[in-house]
């Protein structure tokens, strides 16, 4: 098999040892490129060799991308087909089945689960694939079939909305690959029931990564008046209500997301304690301050203000603004949860921005907990970027 595969070779200065030690990516400036390598179709399976032509790994190549090659298997002779895909999915499934009583989780978290660029979320009988790398887009039918055979799901959807797809030269057409269009699905999590819109919603319909942070907030929520800003389908507010919150107000710019949150509140049996407000979060925070509204807990979970390095400074200012506006709405002795899902903003920088915002609001605080993405979002040890989600929980004190 392998002898008919194209080969690509590392430049003498490239770090072959990093690949031998498990680094998942090879950048374009590390590869000897010529007309032949540049002409490889995006997603081509190839053998990566070191400068002395010793095979290092089986890789997937996208010549037009900065990430020229992604390591699929450290065995240079690995056959990337149905069996291989099934093995990878089965290994990922074993962890999730151990972690969760019900089949609602991120099943595949890309490089960390051995399927570079591939994200798969599971909603019971429904699985949603985001093939954000060309190799996976080419093998999408095999991937969908492997998913059905390993997990037993009956519906497989392809979500092509990911921003990374353009870098791989891929289209943005989402579609149902197997089974019927599932539309909205009910998802049990932390004692609440969420409603996720699989094809129309953002991301893959639900933010599983926040599950442990939802749980932490819920644990503080007994009797609390909760404000959930950037709520999406009610991530923090429905968990807080299930945890005994007196009331929750969910704020989001997306009216469809809030409509799903209302549906979730009804299914969770908490609709009488739940309200929503559609609008720009900054404007709503300001309006609430003017109205004199105060809350026992405020959570802000904005979209990535700094998805990449060039946006870092502006992103940090936006996080500080959010912290300042939100802190002003928390009663003394109340709680403030601030989240960032920006890859480019590390924990220390994010904490500094939040601390400054709280200080500028004239408030004092204790940092009581730092949360991250849940264990169904494992991190690849050599990809710092995969630790993107941070959640800081403060108690505001006199
Ligand atoms: N807190 C949610 C996830 C939030 S995702 C959870 O735990 O599940 C970020 C949300 O911010 C999205 O729903 C998006 O619609 C919303 N959003 C983005 N920009 C906004 C803005 N300027 N004002 C209000 N909402 C905004």
Pocket test for ligand 1, best of 241, 250, 252, 257 (most atoms within 8 A of CB): 252
Distant-in-sequence, close-in-space partners of 77: CB < 8 Å, separation ≥ 6: 1, 2, 55, 58
Give the architecture-level CATH label for domain 7-73. Roll (2.30)
Strands (E), the chain: 7-9, 25-27, 44-49, 55-61, 67-73, 104-109, 118-123, 126-131, 155-158, 175-178, 184-189, 192-197, 225-229, 247-252, 274-278, 295-300, 330-340, 364-372, 390-397
Which two tokens mark 169? 């030269």
pTM of the model: 0.96
CA distance 179 to 155: 5
Backbone torsion region of residue 197, taken as left when φ is above 0, otherwise alpha when ψ lies between -120 and 50, otherwise beta? beta
- Tell me how far the alpha carbon of residue 301 lies from the centroid of ligand 1, in angstroms: 7
Mean pLDDT within 136-142: 97
Domain boundaries, the chain: 7-73, 82-178, 185-397
Provide the mean pLDDT of the chain.
95
253 lines ligand 1 (CB under 6 A): yes
Over residues 219-257, the pLDDT tens digits come to 999 999 999 999 999 999 999 999 999 999 999 999 999
> In the CATH hierarchy, which top-level class contains the domain 185-397?
alpha beta
Q: Known catalytic residue: 300? A: no
Task: Indicate which residue of 300, 339, 341, 354 is catalytic.
Answer: 341
CA distance 223 to 103: 30
Q: What is the pLDDT of residue 387?
A: 75
Mean pLDDT within 205-231: 97
- 78-82 — which CB contacts under 8 Å span 24+ positions? 79/1, 80/45, 80/135, 80/139, 81/142, 82/142, 82/145, 82/146
Exposure string for 85-116, b = 16+ CB within 10 A, e = fewer: bbebbeebbeebeeebeebbbbbbbbbbbbbb
Q: What is the pLDDT of residue 83?
A: 98
363 lines ligand 1 (CB under 6 A): no
301 lines ligand 1 (CB under 6 A): yes
Distant-in-sequence, close-in-space partners of 36: CB < 8 Å, separation ≥ 6: 6
Ligand 1 atom at shortest distance from the alpha carbon of 206: 8
Q: What is the pLDDT of residue 201?
A: 52
Residues 52, 29 contacting (CB under 8 angstroms):
no
Q: For residue 361, which of 280, 286, 296 has the smallest C-alpha distance?
A: 286
374 lines ligand 1 (CB under 6 A): no
277 lines ligand 1 (CB under 6 A): no
232 lines ligand 1 (CB under 6 A): yes
Q: For residue 44, which of 80, 1, 10, 89 has the smallest C-alpha distance?
A: 80
Ligand 1 atom at shortest distance from the alpha carbon of 230: 11
Mean pLDDT within 108-123: 97
> What is the percent of the chain with per-residue pLDDT over 70, rounded to a whole number?
97
Q: In the Cβ-directed half-sphere of 59, how many Cα atoms lie within 13 Å?
A: 31
Pick one of 3.80.10.10, 3.30.750.80, 3.40.50.970, 3.40.47.10 as the CATH number of 82-178.
3.30.750.80
Q: What is the pLDDT of residue 2?
A: 46
Residue 202 reports pLDDT greater than 60: no
- Tell me how far the alpha carbon of residue 157 lies from the centroid of ligand 1, in angstroms: 23
Over residues 153-177, the pLDDT tens digits come to 999 999 998 888 988 889 999 999 9
């Amino acid at each position: 098999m392998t002898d008919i595969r194209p080969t690509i070779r590392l430049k003498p200065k490239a770090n072959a040892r990093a690949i031998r030690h498990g680094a998942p990516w090879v950048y374009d400036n590390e590869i000897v490129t010529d007309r032949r390598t540049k002409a490889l179709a995006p997603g081509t399976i190839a053998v990566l060799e070191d400068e002395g032509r010793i095979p290092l790994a089986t890789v997937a190549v996208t010549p037009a991308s900065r990430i020229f090659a992604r390591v699929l298997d450290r065995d240079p002779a690995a056959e990337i087909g149905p069996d291989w895909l099934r093995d990878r999915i089965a290994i990922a499934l074993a962890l999730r089945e151990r972690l969760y009583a019900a089949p609602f989780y991120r099943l595949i978290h890309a490089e960390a689960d051995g399927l570079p660029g591939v994200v798969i979320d599971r909603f019971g009988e429904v699985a949603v694939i985001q093939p954000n790398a060309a190799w996976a887009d080419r093998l999408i039918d095999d991937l969908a079939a492997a998913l059905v055979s390993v997990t037993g799901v009956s519906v497989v959807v392809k979500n092509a909305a990911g921003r990374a797809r353009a870098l791989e030269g891929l289209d943005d057409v989402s579609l149902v690959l197997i089974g019927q269009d599932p539309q909205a699905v009910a998802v049990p999590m932390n004692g609440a029931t969420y409603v996720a819109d699989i094809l129309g919603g953002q991301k893959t319909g639900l933010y599983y990564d926040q599950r442990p942070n939802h749980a932490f907030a819920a644990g503080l929520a007994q009797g609390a008046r909760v404000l959930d800003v950037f709520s999406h389908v009610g991530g923090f507010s429905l968990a807080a209500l299930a945890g005994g919150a007196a009331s929750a107000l969910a704020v989001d710019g997306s009216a469809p997301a809030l409509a799903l949150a209302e549906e979730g509140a009804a299914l969770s049996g908490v609709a009488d304690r739940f309200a929503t407000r559609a609008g720009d979060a900054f404007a709503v925070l300001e309006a609430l301050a003017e109205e004199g509204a105060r809350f026992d807990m405020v959570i802000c979970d904005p979209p990535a203000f700094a998805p990449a390095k060039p946006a870092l400074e502006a992103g940090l200012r936006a996080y500080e603004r959010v912290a300042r506006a939100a802190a002003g709405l928390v009663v003394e002795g109340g709680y403030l949860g601030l989240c960032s899902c920006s890859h480019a903003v590390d924990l220390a920088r994010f904490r500094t921005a939040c601390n400054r915002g709280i200080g500028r609001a004239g408030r004092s605080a204790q940092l009581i907990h730092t949360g991250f993405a849940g264990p169904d979002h494992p991190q690849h040890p050599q990809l710092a970027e995969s630790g993107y989600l941070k959640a800081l929980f403060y108690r505001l004190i006199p």
